[in-house]
C-alpha cells in the first residue's frame, strides 16, 4: 500500500516539471538541469510519431494514399523536406504533415505563346540552287533552298529604294563561312524587305573572285556599301590587293584597298572595275616603324550622296578607314585611261563593257576639280582642308576614354546635320559624331550609341530612314555557333531628341517584331539575370566570352535595370524525336541577345550563356538540350513548370529565394507564372500560362 501511494505521488510530482519544460521550449529556452527533456512528434499522413528525447533522431515515413504521390513534409506551413523517409533532430514538440497530390497533377503538357519574330533579321539562305560552291568546300550555307541552314553574314549596309509601289530596303552583308577564329568571307549577299517585318534573301551580288586586282587566296568580303547615283548602283568595297593582278604597285601589294563595282540593279550582279578606287599608299595609313602593322587600314567604305551646294546637283562623297577615318569626293566621268603623276590608273576601265555606260569613277582633286588623283597631293600637304583631296577626319577627340574611332564608318544626314557613325574601342562599341558641314576635318563627338554586343567582338552600324522613322541595322553573333567571325544582322529603331542627339540603343532579342515576357515564381518574385555591362576587353575581366551569367530571384525594386527581368520565350532549340515541339521552349535574355537560360541537371549549374559550339558537335548538342525545357501545367493547373529534357526528374524551381535545377522541389516551388507583351515594345503584358495539350 505504501508502494502504491509512492507511485501516485511520483506521477503528480513530475507533472509540473513536464509542463514547465514544454512551456520553456515554446519560449525558445532550453532547460539546463534535471532529466533530458522529452517532446512529442505528431505525424499526419504517415508513421514515426511518438515521444522523443531532445536531439534524438526521428524518422517519419509517408503513407501514400491510392492515386496520390508524395510531395513533401510540412511543418508550420512550410515544406521542410521532400525526402521520404525523412529524418530530423527533435528539439521541440512538433506536428509533421505529409503532403500529397494527384499522380496526374503537373504532368499535363501546355503550349505557351512563343515569340516568333525579333532579331536577328537575317540568318537564312537564298535558295539559289545554281550557285557554284565547288571552289570552296566550306561555302555551302547560301544554296540549295534550305532555309533551315544557318547563314552568317556581317558588316551590314543599307540602300532604300523609293518606287511608285512603296519603299524597298536592301540589306547587304559579307557572307561569313568561317569555322575557325579567322575571317572567311567569299562573297557579298543581299536581302530585301518592304516592311522591315519580313525579309527575303535576294542574291549573291558579287564574288571575291570577280575582283581582278585582289589576292584570290583571301576570302575577304569585308564591309561594303551600295549607293545609287546618276541612274546606276555603285558598290564600294574593300579587299586585299595583289601585284600579280597587274593593278597595283609594290607599295600596295598585300594591302587593303577600296574598290568599286557597278550595276543597273540593286540586287546585282555587280561588275567590278579593273583597279582600286583608293590605293593604300594614298593615305600613307601605316605605322612608320614596321610598315606592315596596319595593312588593313584602308577598309570599310561608306558613301553619302548629297547636294552640299544646294544647286540641284548631288555630289558623291566616300569615307573609310581603320584607326584613322578618311573622306574623299568622287566623280563619274567619261574619261578613260588617264594617269596621275606616279603612274596610278585612276580613270578606271570597266571590265564588262555591258556596264560601260555607267562611266568611270575617280577620286577628284578638289583644288582643280579634275578627275585624277593628284600625285603627291595628300591630306597632309595643305593647311586648307578645302584643298585636300583626301581628308583625315577627327571624329573622336572629345570621346570618353575607350571610345576612339576603330573602324566601320557610316555616313548619314538628317535635317541638315551630318552624322558619322562608327565602331569605337575594342571589343567594339558603337558611337557617333556630328558636323554642320560634310567636308569638315573635326567632328563633334555625339555619344556612345551601343555597348559591345554580348556575342561578337566587332560591330558595324547601318543607318537609314524608312516609313518616317530612322533605324539602325548592326551585327552580333547571336545565332548558334555565332561569334565575331559568324555574325548576323539585327535591327533597332533610333530615337532623336530635339537637338538631334540620339538615345542610347539597347541591344535586344525582340527587335521590331518579337515580344518580351516576364517570369515570376509562385511568390510573385521576378526571374532576372545579374546586371552587368558587356566588357570591352576579351580577357582579364570579371566576365569572359562566351559570357556565363547567373540568374536571380529578386524583387523588381531591387533591380538596377528592369530590362534584366525580360525574356523572349521561343521555339525550342532541341525537340526530342517524335515530339512536335508545342510543349518545348528555349528562353533568351531580352537585353543580352544570344544568351539563353542554360541548366545542367548533373552539376546543378544554371546561368544564361551562349550556344557557341558547333551545333553538330557533341558540345553543341549538349548546349541545345540544356537550353530546352518541356512546359507542363503548374500547381492546381495554374502557371507552368519547366522540366529539364536532359533528365526528366529535374525542374527549374524557386527554393528559398534561389533559382535551382532540382528533382527535390514541390510542385509549388516548380510553378512559375508568365506574362507576355501583347505586341512588340507595347509594354502591355498579359497572362501567358499556356493552353493544355490533349
Between 215 and 636, the higher pLDDT residue: 636
Contact of 106 with 635, CB cutoff 8 Å: yes
Cell numbers of 686, please? 498579359
Burial per residue of 462-472, b for 16 or more beta-carbon CB atoms within 10 angstroms, e otherwise: bbbebeeebbb
Cell numbers of 550, please? 547567373
Residue 250 has pLDDT above 50, yes or no: yes
Burial per residue of 659-688, b for 16 or more beta-carbon CB atoms within 10 angstroms, e otherwise: bbbbeebbbbbbbbbbbbbeebeeeebeeb
Residue 198 has pLDDT above 50, yes or no: yes
**Coil, strand or helix at 620:** helix
Lowest model confidence (mean pLDDT) among 195-204, 208-217, 466-475: 208-217
**Average pLDDT of 502-509?**
98
Q: What DSSP string describes 287-335?
A: -TTTSSTTTT-S---EEEEE-TTSSS--EEEEEE-SSSEEEEEEEEES-
Cell numbers of 406, please? 576603330
Average pLDDT, the chain: 83
Cell numbers of 580, please? 512536335
pTM, to two decimals: 0.82
Using the structure block, give the residue that is written with the C-alpha cell 555606260. 357
The fraction of the chain above a pLDDT of 90, given in percent, is 60
Verify cis geometry, omega within 30 degrees of 0, for the bond prior to 430.
Answer: no
Which pLDDT belongs to residue 674?
Answer: 98
Lowest model confidence (mean pLDDT) among 24-28, 178-182, 617-621: 24-28
- Determine whether 353 is exposed, middle or buried from the number of CB atoms within 10 Å of its CB (0-12, 13-18, 19+): exposed
Cell numbers of 392, please? 583625315
Cα 275 to the chain's mean position, in Å? Answer: 38
CA distance 323 to 294: 9
CA distance 356 to 230: 13
If you count them, how many residues does the chain have? 694
**Average pLDDT of 302-309?**
90
Pairing mode, if any, of strands 488-494 and 517-521? unpaired
Which pLDDT belongs to residue 501?
Answer: 96
Residue 599's Cβ-side half-sphere holds a number of Cα atoms within 13 Å equal to: 25
Ordered structural domains, the chain, with CATH: 2-102 (no CATH), 110-114+515-692 (2.80.10.50), 120-166+176-204+414-507 (no CATH), 211-393 (no CATH)
pLDDT in tens, 605-641: 999 999 999 888 999 999 999 999 999 999 989 999 9
CA distance 534 to 597: 17
**Average pLDDT of 27-48?**
77
Q: Which residues pair with 240 in a beta bridge?
A: 256
**Average pLDDT of 551-567?**
95
- DSSP 8-state class, residue 27: T
Task: Give, for 530, the enclosing helix (H) or strand (E).
Answer: none
**Average pLDDT of 382-410?**
75
Contact of 299 with 323, CB cutoff 8 Å: no
Which pLDDT belongs to residue 396?
Answer: 74
Which pLDDT belongs to residue 340?
Answer: 33
Mention every residue, 6+ apart, whose C-beta is less than 8 A from residue 451. Answer: 429, 507, 533, 534, 536
Residue 91 neighbours by CB distance under 10 Å: 14
CA distance 74 to 530: 32
Which pLDDT belongs to residue 606?
Answer: 97
pLDDT in tens, 312-328: 889 999 999 998 898 98
CA distances from 110 to 107, 146, 168, 516 (A): 9, 30, 40, 19
CA distance 98 to 100: 7
Lowest model confidence (mean pLDDT) among 29-33, 207-211, 344-348, 529-533: 344-348
Which pLDDT belongs to residue 643?
Answer: 97
**Coil, strand or helix at 217:** coil
Cell numbers of 660, please? 535551382
**Coil, strand or helix at 418:** strand
Cell numbers of 664, please? 527535390
How many H-runs (helices) and E-runs (strands) does the chain carry?
4, 43
Cell numbers of 240, please? 586585299
CA distance 151 to 143: 10
Which pLDDT belongs to residue 493?
Answer: 98
Which pLDDT belongs to residue 68?
Answer: 83
CA distances from 644 to 72, 239, 576, 649 (A): 21, 47, 12, 7
**Coil, strand or helix at 548:** strand
Residue 232 has pLDDT above 70, yes or no: yes
Q: Is 219 left (phi over 0), alpha (psi -120 to 50) or beta?
A: beta
**Average pLDDT of 434-460?**
94
Amino acid at each position: 500500500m505504501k508502494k502504491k501511494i509512492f507511485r501516485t505521488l511520483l506521477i503528480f510530482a513530475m507533472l509540473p516539471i513536464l509542463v514547465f519544460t514544454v512551456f520553456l521550449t515554446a519560449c525558445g529556452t532550453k532547460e539546463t538541469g534535471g532529466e533530458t527533456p522529452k517532446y512529442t512528434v505528431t505525424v499526419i499522413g504517415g508513421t514515426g510519431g511518438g515521444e522523443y528525447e531532445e536531439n534524438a533522431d526521428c524518422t517519419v515515413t509517408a503513407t501514400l494514399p491510392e492515386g496520390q504521390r508524395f510531395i513533401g513534409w510540412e511543418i508550420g506551413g512550410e515544406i521542410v523536406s521532400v525526402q521520404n523517409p525523412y529524418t530530423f533532430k527533435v528539439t521541440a514538440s512538433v506536428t509533421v504533415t505529409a503532403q500529397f497530390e494527384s499522380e496526374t497533377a503537373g504532368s499535363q503538357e501546355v503550349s505557351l505563346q512563343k515569340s516568333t519574330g525579333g532579331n536577328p533579321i537575317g540568318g537564312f539562305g537564298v535558295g539559289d540552287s545554281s550557285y557554284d560552291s565547288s571552289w570552296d568546300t566550306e561555302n555551302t550555307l547560301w544554296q540549295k533552298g534550305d532555309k533551315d541552314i544557318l547563314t552568317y553574314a556581317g558588316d551590314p549596309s543599307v540602300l532604300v529604294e523609293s518606287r511608285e509601289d512603296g519603299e524597298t530596303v536592301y540589306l547587304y552583308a559579307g557572307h561569313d563561312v568561317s569555322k575557325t577564329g579567322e575571317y572567311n568571307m567569299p562573297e557579298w549577299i543581299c536581302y530585301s524587305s518592304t516592311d522591315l517585318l519580313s525579309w527575303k534573301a535576294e542574291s549573291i551580288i558579287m564574288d571575291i573572285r570577280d575582283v581582278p586586282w585582289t589576292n584570290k587566296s583571301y576570302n575577304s568580303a569585308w564591309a561594303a556599301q551600295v549607293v545609287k547615283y546618276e541612274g546606276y548602283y555603285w558598290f564600294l568595297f574593300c579587299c586585299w590587293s595583289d601585284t600579280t593582278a597587274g593593278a597595283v604597285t609594290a607599295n600596295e601589294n598585300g594591302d587593303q584597298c577600296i574598290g568599286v563595282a557597278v550595276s543597273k540593279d540593286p540586287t546585282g550582279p555587280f561588275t567590278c572595275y579593273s583597279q582600286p578606287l583608293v590605293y593604300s599608299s594614298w593615305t600613307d595609313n601605316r605605322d612608320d616603324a614596321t610598315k606592315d602593322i596596319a595593312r588593313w587600314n584602308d577598309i570599310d567604305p561608306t558613301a553619302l550622296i548629297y547636294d552640299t551646294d544646294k544647286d540641284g546637283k548631288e555630289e558623291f562623297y566616300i569615307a573609310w578607314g581603320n584607326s584613322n577615318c578618311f573622306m574623299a569626293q568622287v566623280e563619274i566621268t567619261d574619261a578613260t585611261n588617264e594617269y596621275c603623276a606616279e603612274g596610278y590608273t585612276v580613270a578606271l576601265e570597266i571590265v564588262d563593257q555591258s556596264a560601260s555606260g555607267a562611266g568611270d569613277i575617280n577620286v577628284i582633286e578638289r583644288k582643280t576639280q579634275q578627275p585624277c588623283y593628284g600625285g603627291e597631293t595628300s591630306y597632309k600637304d595643305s593647311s586648307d582642308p578645302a584643298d585636300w583631296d583626301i581628308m583625315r577626319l577627327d571624329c573622336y577627340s572629345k570621346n570618353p576614354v575607350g571610345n576612339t574611332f576603330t573602324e566601320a564608318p557610316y555616313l548619314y544626314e538628317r535635317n541638315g546635320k551630318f552624322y558619322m557613325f562608327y565602331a569605337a574601342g575594342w571589343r567594339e562599341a558603337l558611337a557617333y559624331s556630328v558636323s554642320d558641314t560634310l567636308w569638315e576635318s573635326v567632328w563633334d563627338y555625339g555619344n556612345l550609341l551601343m555597348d559591345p554586343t554580348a556575342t561578337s567582338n566587332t560591330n558595324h552600324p547601318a543607318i537609314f530612314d524608312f516609313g518616317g522613322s530612322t533605324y539602325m541595322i548592326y551585327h552580333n553573333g547571336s545565332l548558334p555557333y555565332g561569334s565575331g567571325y559568324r555574325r548576323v544582322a539585327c535591327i533597332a529603331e533610333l530615337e532623336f531628341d530635339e537637338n538631334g542627339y540620339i538615345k542610347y540603343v539597347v541591344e535586344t532579342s525582340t527587335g521590331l517584331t518579337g515580344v518580351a515576357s516576364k517570369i515570376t515564381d509562385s511568390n510573385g518574385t521576378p526571374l532576372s539575370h545579374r546586371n552587368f555591362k558587356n566588357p570591352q576587353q576579351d580577357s582579364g575581366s570579371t566576365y569572359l566570352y562566351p559570357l556565363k551569367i547567373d540568374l536571380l530571384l529578386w524583387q523588381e525594386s531591387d533591380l538596377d535595370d528592369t530590362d534584366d527581368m525580360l525574356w523572349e520565350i521561343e521555339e525550342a532549340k532541341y525537340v526530342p524525336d517524335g515530339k512536335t515541339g508545342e510543349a518545348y521552349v528555349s528562353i533568351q535574355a531580352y537585353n543580352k541577345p544570344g544568351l539563353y537560360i542554360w541548366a545542367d541537371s548533373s552539376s546543378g549549374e544554371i546561368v544564361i550563356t551562349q550556344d557557341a559550339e558547333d551545333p553538330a558537335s557533341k558540345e553543341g548538342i549538349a548546349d541545345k538540350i540544356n537550353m530546352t525545357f518541356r512546359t507542363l501545367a503548374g500547381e492546381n493547373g495554374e502557371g507552368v513548370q519547366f522540366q529539364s529534357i536532359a533528365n526528366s526528374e529535374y525542374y527549374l524551381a524557386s527554393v528559398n529565394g534561389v533559382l535551382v535545377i532540382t528533382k527535390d522541389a514541390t510542385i509549388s516551388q516548380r510553378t512559375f507564372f508568365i506574362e507576355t507583351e501583347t505586341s512588340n515594345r507595347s509594354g502591355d503584358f498579359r497572362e501567358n500560362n499556356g493552353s493544355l495539350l490533349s
